[in-house]
Amino acid sequence: MTGLRERKKEQTRRRIAEVALRMFAERGFEAVTVNEIAEAAEVAKVTLFKYFPTKESLVLRGVGEEDLAGIVAGRPPGHSPLEALRAHCMALVASSAVTRDMDELVARVQVILGSPALRAGAGALLYRQRRALAKALAEEHEETVAALMAAQITACLHTVQEEFFQRLAAGAAPEAAYDHLAGDVKLAFDLLEHGIGPRSPRLSGGRPGESGGR
């Protein structure tokens, strides 16, 4: 019975999220009310809030939830924070490329980009993620150093993600977008590891595998 109950809960959660995303995509985030979503999903408003505590969470679920701090804190002995994060992010890109519902992802990206409230909400979630990472790094580094490291790491990862979302929103083929994302993640960690200077990766302007001097 427990398994059946959990499946029904997941079906309800998914139905609410799908209905909300469709309505947001059609009319815009600000133009749709929670009451309208609950009615369209055939649930009570109180039920909707059991699954999604805020209107923003209907779209922003997963944003900033990647446990970068946990990855750093739980990394294998002998691995640096950057090595652990690089391995995790590359594995995540590879798995997401074959499991993501691309239509849903593109719709969510377009809704978020079209809403100032959602962009602000995403920023707040990412800020909390950065502070958590800084706290984990502070276990091994002076507090200011840890804060600066966390700022650089999260800024690189968020920028790479934004570029990926912008490509999808502009109509890029998913396979090409994920190939580009994998290259950008590698570049981000190369830059974090080696720094920005004359010997930094790709400062000549070439893509991976291309010669510089374009």
**pLDDT at site 105:** 82
Query: What is the tens place of the pLDDT at every residue in 88-105?
Result: 999 988 887 765 677 888
> Are 104 and 21 a contacting pair, CB within 8 Å?
yes
How far out from the chain centre does Cα 49 lie? Answer: 23
- What local confidence, expressed as pLDDT, does residue 61 receive? 83
171/164 Cα distance (integer angstroms): 11
- Say yes or no: 107 and 50 in one domain: no
- For residues 100 and 184, membership in a common domain is answered with yes
Structure tokens at 46: 């109180």
Whether residues 67 and 157 fall in one domain: yes
Claim to verify: residue 88 and residue 170 sit in the same structural domain: yes
Of the given ranges (1-15, 166-180, 200-214), which has the lowest mean pLDDT? 200-214
Residue 54 lies in a domain: yes
Q: How far apart are CA 145 and CA 191, in angstroms?
A: 17
Residue 187 counted as domain residue? yes
On average, the pLDDT of the chain sits at 87
Q: In the chain, how many domains are there?
A: 2
pLDDT at 82 over 80: yes
Neighbours of 148 (CB within 10 A): 14
Closest CA to 23 of 4, 41, 37, 44: 37
2-27 and 102-113 helices cross at what angle (nearest 10)?
A: 50
Structural domain of 33: 2-59
- Indicate whether 37 and 108 sit together in one domain: no
